[in-house]
Chains A and B, each alone.
Chain A
Amino acid sequence: MIIYDEYVTQIEGHGRVCFDIKDGKVEVRLEILEGSRLFESLLRGRRADEVPQMSSRICGVCPVPHNLAAVQALENGMGIEVSEQTKMLRRLMISSQIIVSHALHLYVLAAADYLGVKGVSELYAKFPEAVKRCLRIRSVGNRGIEIVGGRAVHPVNSIPGGFAKLPLKKDLEKLAKDYEAILNDCVETFNLFAGLKYPEFERVTEYLAIDDGKHFPAYSGRLITNRGLNVEAKEYRKHITEVFKPYSTSKFCLIKGHGFHVGAIARINLFKERLNPVAKELLKNSPIKFPSDNPFHNNLAQTLEIVHYAEEAIKIAEELSATLKDEERPKQRKGGTGVGVVEAPRGTLIHEYTVDEKGVVKEANLIIPTGMNTTNIEEDLYTLLTANIDKPKEHLKRLAEMLFRAYDPCLSCSTH
């Protein structure tokens, strides 16, 4: 096995792809080497009103889903049912987060693979407009999180029952306009990535996302896959197993003993019919069709989502800028175990907490999108390297890392 000293660059967190070819057969493993912060441990003994803020610290790139999966799980454990308005505000936060995170991944991390630049400095030197577009999109997305959540990185005011403070109507109105103003940037992002040449590769696998029966996946729902899994989120332990591997601090997830894929490509493959109009139109004329079994196409799926969630954010912000009203926050009714499930930029995220009658967390379990993808990435790597077995090692390493990066892995998250 070739062990590389260096971590893979331009991904969130620390990991590497190690592989070897012996007697014409590929051996490969995905080593996730992020330090363990042991979040499940440190959240025990904390009060429910501080846990959403603390959970968000699992990830600085995608804090909102952790914040909201936590608050949803706590509410389910505490017998709290939140209002439709609260759910809409949370969908607005998720939409903004996915836009911000995808823009970061696509331009700052993934684009270099396809545009022949070494990194963000060179990208700026050669494609200044692309970098500026990225920053414009991120700036509005950040503002969307901040207006509702109080801060863009690590939102502060999500608490069981709703929000410590509601946004101002005029801020929502302006947000809708700001999103209108960057919709074209989002479309241009799709155009840029639709014109790239992706490595030819296909492997049939299982795709998982959440389904609330109505929306393109975002906030809450059942766990469903293209192979017929359709269960309540709280049943997750019966279907998703976690395995420890000695070469990785992140656990590896399996459904029925094999890998599965979550994230943008899974959501688009499963729910493209629910995309908003502009995104749907782009998909109709896209040179790459979905459902796709090429994991490199995850990048294009992300661009479709940027457009979709921007349209979604406009809808929600416009509606709430007219209808937003003060509401009483429902209070804890009981202690118990609750599961929360949301879509993070990188896929379905599950938090589970047991809370006592006083609202103190006793047990915690977190299943992270990149943790769900790990087995699938290893299976993909095996197939990809096997198909290219006669190419030079250095080429294989590049290709393998590109595949790993296309998943937009978040290793801080997956190890947590």
Chain B
Amino acid sequence: MKPKIAIFDLTDCEGCEVQVLNSKFVDRVLAGVEFTHFRLGQRVNRWEEFDVAFIEGAAITSHELELVKKIRESSKFVVALGSCACFGGIAAINNFIGVNEAKKYVYGENADKVETLYIKPLPEIIKVDFMIRGCPIVPEDFDRLVSDLLAGRIPREHTRPVCMDCKSKGNPCFLLENVECAGPVTYGGCGAPCPSAGMPCDGCRGPLEEPQMNAELELLKKIASKDDIIRLFRKFAPMAPQFREVWGGER
């Protein structure tokens, strides 16, 4: 029996699902598992017990809050796919602006007719068994998880910061050049595409398990304004516990 896999997308850009298609999809995934529920990829979907359910995106409506609870009840193993699921994602910036204010700006007098909730990361709504971080995820993390699960292994976490990826690419250090960078406190394993393309790390994979936030902030305060530091951590993983507390989590 092939393992039954479900991929659900909540409110998001679907970029992590695109990265799933950019993974070793055909070689391994398509041949080794059965997609029981995958709205983006097939017309006929069944709701039954899933061996693994991937949840991409943020729960932003009450319908989605109900849905994730239902998915949890039906699944043996739940994976938060990408930083919207893991950490609220970019849309959670509006948590700090005020959701009602944000809605008024976009919908004006019709703001009340559109439901948008304060965004909570998925692990604060249901029990999550594993997180694949990133905005977007890297296909390698998806491949690694799937092959681990197919082999009956519990996948291991990356334990290194983005700096390790960055150094291995031979990039110069942004912090040494007085440019604010979230690399030292950010969960590595991405291959440091941003610093390699001339841009500092913006923390899209969220914090390491035990990030040295105090040391990072001390360093940043010497080279950047308060607003810039808040902007750095309030971007793609704004509701990650250690990031949202930067400057007391103030608006």
Residues in A lying within 8 Å of B, measured CB to CB: 7, 9-14, 34-42, 44-47, 50, 53-54, 57-61, 63, 104, 108-109, 112, 118-122, 124, 131-132, 135, 138, 142, 149-154, 156-157, 159, 163-165, 244, 246, 249, 412
Contact = CB atoms under 8 A, between A and B. Distances in A.
Given A36-B103, A37-B90, A163-B198, 8 more contacts: A37-B11, A59-B15, A63-B15, A120-B35, A142-B22, A150-B194, A159-B199, A412-B13
A42 B11 contact: no
Contacts of B15: 57, 59-61, 63, 153-154
Given A150-B197, A152-B22, A120 B14 contact: no
Contacts of A150: 193-194, 196-199
Contact of B199 (A41, A42, A46, A156): A156
A50 B39 contact: no
Nearest to A149: B197
A172 to B, nearest CB: 15
A91 B150 CA distance: 42
A13 to B, nearest CB: 7
Most A CB contacts (10 A, CB to CB) among B10, B18, B102 go to B18
Interface of B: 9-19, 21-22, 25-26, 30, 34-35, 38-45, 57-58, 60-61, 64, 89-91, 93-94, 97, 99, 101-103, 105-107, 110, 113-114, 116, 135-136, 193-194, 196-199, 202, 228, 231, 235-236
A7 B39 contact: yes
B41 A165 contact: no
Given A57-B236, A154-B135, A154-B136, A12 B42 contact: no
B9 to A, nearest CB: 8
A223 B197 CA distance: 33
B197 A46 contact: no
Given A40-B106, A156-B194, A58 B18 contact: no
B39 A41 contact: no
Given A50-B202, A124-B30, A60 B14 contact: yes
Given A118-B43, A121-B42, A152-B22, A164 B90 contact: no
Contacts of A121: 30, 34-35, 41-42
B197 A164 contact: yes
B12 A412 contact: yes
Contacts, number: 182
Contacts of B10: 35
Nearest to A415: B11
Nearest to B108: A244
Contacts of A122: 42
A48 B163 CA distance: 25
A44 B105 contact: yes
A249 B25 CA distance: 32
A120 B42 contact: yes
B235 A50 contact: yes
Contacts of A35: 10-11, 57-58, 60-61, 64, 91, 116
B31 to A, nearest CB: 8
B29 to A, nearest CB: 10
B194 to A, nearest CB: 5
A239 to B, nearest CB: 20
Nearest to B60: A35
A-B pairs, 4 with minimum CB distance = A60-B15, A119-B42, A150-B197, A35-B11
A249 B64 CA distance: 15
A320 B105 CA distance: 43
Contacts of A412: 11-14
Nearest to A401: B43
Contacts of A165: 197-198
A99 B123 CA distance: 36
Nearest to A108: B41
Given A41-B97, A119-B38, A119-B42, A61 B199 contact: no
